[in-house]
Amino acid sequence: KKSGNGNLRSPICCILGHVDTGKTKLLDCIRGTNVQEGEAGGITQQIGATYFPTDNIRERTKELKADAMLKVPGLLVIDTPGHEAFTNLRSRGSSLCDIAILVVDIMHGLEPQTIESLNLLKSRNAEFIVALNKVDRLYGWKKCLNAPIVKAMKLQSIDVQNEFKMRVTQIVTQFKEQGLNTELYYKNKNMGETSSIVPTSAMSGEGIPDLLLLLINWAQRTMEEKLTFMDDIQCTVLEVKVIEGLGTTIDVVLVNGVLHEGDQIVVCGMQGPIATTIRALLTPHPMKELRVKGAYLHHKELKAAQGIKITAQGLEHAVAGTALYLVTPNDDLDDVKDLAMQDMKNVMSRIDKSGEGVCVQASTIGSLEALLEFLKTPAVNIPVSGINIGPVHKKDVMKASVMLERKKEYATILAFDVKVTPEARDLAEDAGVKIFIADIIYHLFDQFKAYMESIKE
């Protein structure tokens, strides 16, 4: 069902691309923040969300004389990880978006996760813009802070301009090999059939106004058909976090619909469906990343699209990566609960039925899926007998210790991005259960591989 005219929701823009192409840094540049430097290993391992009010975007594009009257309140930008382990999060991010930015490093051209992202976007029929990032790394580049790209390019030496042209030509050819026509956006006369390339620097800001302007133009063009507000709730849980003073909270992306304080909701839980009531609806300040702790604004109601922190009772065992459902007077609560548990069934079906295998524990269902996926690859091939989400407690160690009598090397917990309680650590030591902890997913893989090899010897 569609609401009244002129009722438009904010578009969602997803940022995708190979690891370290500068996705988070581009957002930092637009936000004036420093999220990237705070990340473990400098890699993104969660989906992020930032709300950009239209006024702010207009301000940043003013040099391009784009006085577009935007009818949408703003733009919600979703940051995704580029590391190969997080295919599921790229897939989830791209499934939420109306438009995307595919980031390519001008010095590297197309890389494996560029192609993977491209295929995801194609399969969803999503429109996207290519950001050809790190132009400041062209040898001899003269910085031109936050300048539109054509202006910045005119200031460069002939050598820089030639290297730029050569690299763009190569990358356009690489895209063609993937079946995609691309062209520098200011030369692109056929926006429908040819994707636009915007050269950018996340370090000195060249091309950022152009990138934002293209996003605005896209929103203007497709608003009526794509962005007309729907009443039905579409909402995904990104994270479950304990926040001092708030208790257990969930971070969600509201893709469509409206949420109110006091609404009854159902989310998927480790121990069954959680039916609860929204106590508070919080957002970070505009232009701040939801996944980074900060000051929150309170709201009586929030309209899509938004990244929201929800506080409510009983969220302790909520499972990140699953859908949030609203319960209306017309709904049967049990039906809604069944719906909410569907995602969990999908993950559970991946556990080894023989009952022999390691235990895997992660902070979100997304990272858990990434770990399970890796352990299943033929080169690794480690069976999993148990999974959990959240900190490692004594009961998790007890569960893993069952393997001591069956297959000793599987009496192991692979813990990704979660804490281990001191009691659990003591018990593991006494019982002989190995716990591997890492906050970078591939370090965990490496540690466990080394352990398996040491056992074989």
Which residues would be at the binding site for Mg ion (CB under 5 A)? 23-24, 44
140 Rama class: left (phi>0) / alpha (psi -120 to 50) / beta: left
Work out how close the CB of 211 gets to ligand GTP at its nearest, in angstroms, rounded to a whole number.
12
Nearer of residues 33 and 201 to ligand GTP, judged by Cβ = 201
Size of the site for ligand GTP (CB under 6 A): 22
Q: Which is nearer to ligand GTP, 22 or 273 (CB)?
A: 22
We find the least distance from the C-beta atom of residue 44 to ligand GTP, in angstroms, to be 3
Binding range to ligand GTP, per CB under 6 A, among 122-130, 134-142, 409-417, 442-450? 134-142
For the window 37-66, what string marks contact with ligand GTP as x by the rule CB under 6 A? -----xxx----------------------
Using the minimum distance from each CB to Na ion, give the nearer residue, 33 or 283.
33
From 157, 154, 151, select the one nearest 138 (Cα to Cα): 157
Among 48, 74, 82, 321, binds ligand GTP (CB under 6 A): 82
**Residue 33 binds which one of Mg ion, Na ion, ligand GTP, none, with CB within 5 to 8 A depending on kind?**
none
Stretch that binds Na ion, among 15-23, 302-310, 323-331, 403-411 (CB under 5 A): 15-23
Helix 365-376 to helix 87-96 angle (10° resolution) is 140
Nearer to Mg ion, 39 or 163 (CB): 39
One residue of 43, 57, 290, 326 binding Na ion per CB under 5 A: 43
Interface residue list for ligand GTP (CB under 6 A): 17, 19-25, 36, 42-44, 81-83, 133-134, 136-137, 201-203
- Binding residues vs Na ion (CB under 5 A): 20, 42-43
